[in-house]
Structure 1
Amino acid sequence: MQAQGIIPIFRMFDERKAKEFYIDYLGFKLDWEHRFEPDLPLYAQISLHDVTIHLSEHYGDCSPGAAIRVEMKGVEEFHRQLIGKQYNYSRPGLEMTPWHTKECCVIDPFGNKIAFYENAE
């Protein structure tokens, strides 16, 4: 037996806002989306390199306001790209933490937080 990874699920309330934030702004790609019926809630998978996140409009799947940390290489370049996009709802900073990481934190339109970080040591 061997664990293979983890996929966080973030609650969302508006498909258009979610795609604008995750795909247009952060650069994730839409892997797939599913609805049981055309007028029922959306469940989708997005990815950025080796990072996978599920987004759900389903009430019971998760609570808004979750937080995850995403380790990455090139967090400064990623930060420059985000700032360069002039997204109206987010202007993240780049912080050197006391635990020796460089971090760029964003909060999605639904209150979920992602800390993109790189070890500085």
Structure 2
Amino acid sequence: MKSILHLNLVIAWVWVLAGVVSGALLGLKFHEDRWQGGYASLRRRMMRLGHIAFFGMAYLNLQFWMTGSQLEFPALSARVASWGFALGALGMPLCCYLMAWRPSFRWSFAVPILGLLAGTGMTLKELMKP
């Protein structure tokens, strides 16, 4: 199980770095009022959300790693939860940036959301066992 969980720990720390780097890059232009259509534009909001999604998904993957390190999940449950959280982490910032580029990508959010639901659901299922 530890090798399965290691993926989530690596994703968590890589996503913290990605959040810092994406924030620094976006911050280079944030002083320009009209950049990407202005502060309230969908494009700029989705870019900000993508930046924050790196940190949020890092947190969820780190929490799963910590939970899984303390408990012994069955191998299948651990794999489903691990890959669900990984899919959510990889997909959420990507979907935010894709939607900033083309709003028609809004439907792509179903992929990371389903991954996060699978990860959360499987983790809760195992945690609620007596």
Q: TM-score range by the shorter chain?
A: under 0.3
TM-score (norm 2): 0.25
Larger RCO (CA under 8 A, 6+ residues apart)? 2
Q: Which has the higher helix share?
A: 2
Larger radius of gyration: 2
- In proportion to residue count, which structure has more strand? 1
